[in-house]
Amino acid sequence: MPQEGIGRDRMIRALKDRLEPLEFVHAFWEAGAAAFDRVDIWSDLDLQIVCDDEMVEETLEEAREALESLGPIELAFRMPEPAWHGHSQVFWKLSGTSPFHVIDLCVVKRSAEDKFLEPEMHGRPNVFFDKAGLSEPAAFDMAAHRDALRKRLETLRTTFELFGRVMVEKEIHRGNGIEAMAYYHGATLRPLIEVLRMRHAPAQHKFHTRYVYYDFPDADIQRLERLFFVPDLAGLEERLAEAVSWFHEAAEAAEVSLAGVSGAP
């Protein structure tokens, strides 16, 4: 069991008390597990702050000082910019806290269009304050998303035929177990999970293994666990054949689902 130490609530309260009075800070919420009502003792803190566009650095400094009022920051990492999402993101590990309670803090400019607020994809944030209605759910065009998924499915079917079996088999034949296993996870299992998501969780098709225990039926989870937990090279060859067969089965089901015939929410 992790040592609680300072605790999640104290860290959030310190940030809220410091940030809310600031005129250039407009909203503060927790996403991640909190947005799906799944916070437990292992959850980190996925936090978002919205501030005036020109006040990102000042906001980060205020947040850092708020946390350091509780204790020193023993580990820090700032995502190199421009980050893939276009925001400023830092990771802090505060001394005296559980090693699982890393603070993943994203500072978002007020003008940013994408604030990760589509409920279908990101859940509903736990809002600590919002002075300007900036945490309201964002529209999600599922019809357009399905069109994009249909095109993605066509691509996956082609690339799977090129790489999904062949890249793994050739390394098995060469006796290169490590390379075979790496290709198996990247070229076989990853596209398999993506097509499964197209049916069970289409809004989150890019999430790979994240949340599969919540998004997938128990039968699929049991089948995936068998495919992931490979004992040796001989077992890999057997599971590869099963994964390839399942990919084609899942792709057919995803096509039907995305056509709106059945299955997809």
What tens digit of pLDDT does each residue of 98-123 get? 999 999 999 999 999 999 999 999 99
pLDDT at 62 over 50: yes
- pLDDT for 104: 97
- pLDDT for 127: 98
pLDDT at 55 over 70: yes
- pLDDT for 259: 84
- pLDDT for 216: 97
Q: Could you tell me the residue ranges of all domains in the chain?
A: 8-130, 142-258
pLDDT class of 171 with cuts at 50, 70, 90? very high
pLDDT at 205 over 80: yes
Question: Residue-wise over 214-248: b if at least 16 C-beta within 10 A, else e?
Answer: eebeeebeebbeebeebeeeeebbebbeebbebbe
pLDDT class of 142 with cuts at 50, 70, 90? confident
Distance set, CA 63 to CA 36, 59, 75, 94 (Å): 25, 6, 15, 12
Q: Which amino acid is at 159?
A: T
- For 8-130, the fitting CATH number among 3.20.20.70, 1.10.4080.10, 3.40.50.720, 3.30.460.10 is 3.30.460.10
Read off the pLDDT of each residue in 10-15 and give the average, rounded to a whole number: 97
- pLDDT for 132: 95
pTM score over 0.85: yes
Strand residues in 99-138 grouped as ranges (E)? 103-109, 126-130
The pLDDT > 70 percentage for the chain reads: 96
The pLDDT > 90 percentage for the chain reads: 89
